[in-house]
Structure 1
């Protein structure tokens, strides 16, 4: 059984938030970090993991990702601040 992740990345200045979903978070983070400038995350240097959550079921991850993507920016910031108030890079915890 896979674990599915919903995650939020940001850039150095925290001006951009990117919401994604994957079942291999470590691999996906490496892809983001090595993205070319023509991709969204590459163009804006969005690679700092500031939030993630796990679920056993892919359908739950899909629903949650869509939910968070629809949120206002401030709601996403509140979600991040609730678990990671210093906006530390959480990559080492994956």
Structure 2
């Protein structure tokens, strides 16, 4: 069963708070970080996931996404501080698929 994720991602200065929905957070973050500005060259680099919520159904997740998008900035910040008071990056690390051989030179 797929997990449906609603997230809030921000830049390093916390200037932008972007709300989104996905089923694979790692793939979505790679997509967000790979965006190159077409019209404007100074697009924000959204790289810190500061809020995550998981849902069992897509309908619940999309409803929560619309709810969070209608929040003011102050409400979003308050929600983030309740679950992540230090605004730490909650980006999950991808599972390692290959076993790399480590060579240590003494």
TM-score by length of 1: 0.90
Q: Which whole-Å deviations, capped at 9, do the CAs of 1:20-57 have from their partners, x for residues lacking one? A: 00011111011111111239xx8111121000100010
Query: Hey, which bits of structure 1, 4+ residues long, moved more than 3 A?
Result: none
Match of 1:24 in 2: 24
In angstroms, what is the RMSD of aligned CA positions?
Answer: 1.7
Q: Which whole-Å deviations, capped at 9, do the CAs of 1:57-90 have from their partners, x for residues lacking one? A: 0000000000000001101001100111111111
What SS does the aligned partner of 2:9 have? Answer: strand
1:9 and 1:15 map into 2 onto residues whose CA distance is: 11
Match of 1:59 in 2: 59
Give the alignment of 1:23-42 within 5 angstroms: 23-38=23-38
2:62 and 2:92 map into 1 onto residues whose CA distance is: 24
* Structure (1 or 2) with the greater helix fraction: 1
Question: What is the number of residues matched between the two proteins?
Answer: 92
Match of 2:3 in 1: 3
The alignment status of 1:84 with 2:88, answered yes or no, reads: no
Q: How far did residue 93 of structure 1 move?
A: 6.0
TM-score by length of 2: 0.80
Q: How far did residue 92 of structure 1 move?
A: 3.1
What SS does the aligned partner of 1:51 have? Answer: strand
